[in-house]
């Protein structure tokens, strides 16, 4: 079974959703047969590579949200994150365009460490105040993931994986995704938002049951059909 997750590194609910989905997946009896793929999505593609201002400034000026509303949102989201074992610090968040970070996630997928890359980027952005658009930071992250510095450098000197990221954007539009996180199971079931883990559990169970035919355990006697009754 395949689960594709459209998500932005700069989305606070996406990290919370990741944790809640992981909780459901850990308890899912068929988890070893579930492939998780991270898809790219950008909440603000027009954001400069580096924004000169805080996260609160950004939301107030670019998104037009009143300062008091932003503060209340930060408190609410931080409390939700804490409930999942995450320690958000919006005061330290460095506002940056996430496009190159998404390309690094695709590079990490080629090395079999996509989930680890996604985890680190989200944690470093929301918990540790790292600049997710900075080449030095991304190079160090790549090294931690076992990716050569030269491969990360290619992201800054070429368009490598840029088309893959844009294809994720196009697929999201085709699927009707208008917000993230967005979870798609076997291209049949869609879940929008950081749902409770119980909701993810129900969705995984339903998708598995519908995808797997009933297995015949034992063809014993005591059954009748159009052509008569079975006899040993």
Q: Is a pLDDT exceeding 70 seen at residue 14? A: yes
Q: pTM of this prediction?
A: 0.91
Section 52-68 average pLDDT = 92
Q: What is the per-residue pLDDT for 205?
A: 97
Residue 138 tokens read as 């991304």
Q: What is the per-residue pLDDT for 209?
A: 94
State the virtual CA torsion across 174, 176, 177, 182 in degrees, nearest 10. -100
Section 166-188 average pLDDT = 97
Q: What is the per-residue pLDDT for 228?
A: 64
Q: What is the per-residue pLDDT for 62?
A: 85
Give the contacts of 65 (CB within 8 A, at least 6 positions apart). Answer: 59, 73
Q: Is a pLDDT exceeding 70 seen at residue 19? A: yes
pLDDT bin (cut points 50, 70, 90) of residue 63 is confident
Q: What is the per-residue pLDDT for 222?
A: 61
Higher pLDDT, 41 or 223: 41
Q: Is a pLDDT exceeding 70 seen at residue 103? A: yes
> Could you give the C-alpha distances from 76 to 63, 87, 197, 211, in angstroms and in order?
18, 13, 19, 38
Nearest-angstrom CA–CA distance, 183 and 180: 8
Residues in the chain: 232
What is the topology classification, in CATH, of domain 2-210? Glutaredoxin (3.40.30)
Q: What is the per-residue pLDDT for 7?
A: 98
Longest dimension (CA), the chain: 81
Residue ranges in the chain assigned as alpha helix (H) = 12-27, 55-61, 67-82, 99-110, 114-126, 135-144, 149-157, 162-175, 197-211
Residue 176 tokens read as 């009707």
pLDDT tens digits, one per residue of 183-205: 999 999 999 999 999 999 999 99
Q: What is the per-residue pLDDT for 174?
A: 96
Q: What is the per-residue pLDDT for 58?
A: 93
Backbone angles phi, psi at 38, to 5 degrees: -90, 125
């Amino acid at each position: 079974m395949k689960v594709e997750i459209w998500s932005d590194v700069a989305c606070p609910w996406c990290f919370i959703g990741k944790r809640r989905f992981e909780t459901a997946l850990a308890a899912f009896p068929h988890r070893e047969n579930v492939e998780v793929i991270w898809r790219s999505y950008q909440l603000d593609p027009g954001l400069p590579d580096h924004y000169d201002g805080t996260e609160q400034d950004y939301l107030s000026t670019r998104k037009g949200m009143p300062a008091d509303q932003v503060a209340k949102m930060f408190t609410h989201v931080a409390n939700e994150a804490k409930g999942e074992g995450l320690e958000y610090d919006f005061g330290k968040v460095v506002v940056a365009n996430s496009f190159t970070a998404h390309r690094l996630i695709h590079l990490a997928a080629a090395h079999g460490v996509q989930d680890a890359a996604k985890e680190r980027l989200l944690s470093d952005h929301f918990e540790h105040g790292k600049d997710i658009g900075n080449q030095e930071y991304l190079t160090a992250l790549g090294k931690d993931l076992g990716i050569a510095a030269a491969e990360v450098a290619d992201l800054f000197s070429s368009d490598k994986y840029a088309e893959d990221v844009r294809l994720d954007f196009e697929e999201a539009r085709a699927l009707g995704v208008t917000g993230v996180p967005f979870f798609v199971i076997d291209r049949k079931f869609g879940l929008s938002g950081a749902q409770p883990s119980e909701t993810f559990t129900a969705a995984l169970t339903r998708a598995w049951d519908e995808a797997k035919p009933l297995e015949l355990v034992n063809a014993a006697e005591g059954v009748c059909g159009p052509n008569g009754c079975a006899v040993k």
